[in-house]
Amino acid sequence: MMKIRTYSELSQLETFEERFSYLRLKGIVGERTFGSDRWLNQWFYKSSEWESVRNEVIIRDDGCDLGVSGYEIRSGLLVHHMNPLSLDDVKHGAAWLLGPDYLITTSLQTHNAIHYGDESQLPKGPIERKRGDTALW
């Protein structure tokens, strides 16, 4: 059985790399989930309830990738369900559908890396500058 991931646990991890490792699905996603019932998934993501909690999560995370300061998202911002959704979850209103403790702000690249394991897509952290450092980024 898969461990339920929560923001409460995630927020205890300080670095972007630690948070990515916590969320990484390691090939679990890619299984068929909604199939011909994809309309239900799309209906959910257009609901006013989703829009409300989505905005709440973005504000909580300061618009930063995985909620880590210095990883501001300039485009492609998503709110990611930390636990993969199933058709039954949407039909029966599972706790992690609209619970902020089960959601995190991600960039599109980070979201894809979480799902498909392609770490080359991850954003690079802020460049640390040192006294006398005159090299361009």
Confirm whether 127 is domain-assigned. Answer: no
Per the listing, tokens 């995630």 go with 10
Please tell me the pTM assigned to this model.
0.81
Nearest one of 69, 76, 80 to 114, comparing CA atoms: 80
Instruction: Give the DSSP per-residue string, 20-51.
Output: HHHH--TT-BTB--SGGGHHHHHHHHTSHHHH
At residue 121, what is the residue type? Q
Confirm whether 68 is domain-assigned. Answer: yes
Confirm whether 67 is domain-assigned. Answer: yes
Q: pLDDT tens string for the chain (137 positions)?
A: 568 999 999 999 999 999 999 999 876 554 455 555 667 777 888 999 999 999 999 999 999 999 999 999 999 899 999 988 877 888 888 878 899 999 999 999 999 899 887 777 777 766 677 777 776 65
Confirm whether 91 is domain-assigned. Answer: yes
Confirm whether 137 is domain-assigned. Answer: no
77's enclosing H/E stretch is strand 77-81
Confirm whether 56 is domain-assigned. Answer: yes
Number of domains in the chain: 1
* Measured distance CA(110)–CA(60) in Å, rounded: 18
Residue 87, φ and ψ in degrees, nearest 5: -60, -40
Domain boundaries, position 89 = 49-118
* Measured distance CA(54)–CA(65) in Å, rounded: 14
Helix axes 16-23, 108-116, angle to 10 degrees: 50
Confirm whether 14 is domain-assigned. Answer: no
Confirm whether 4 is domain-assigned. Answer: no
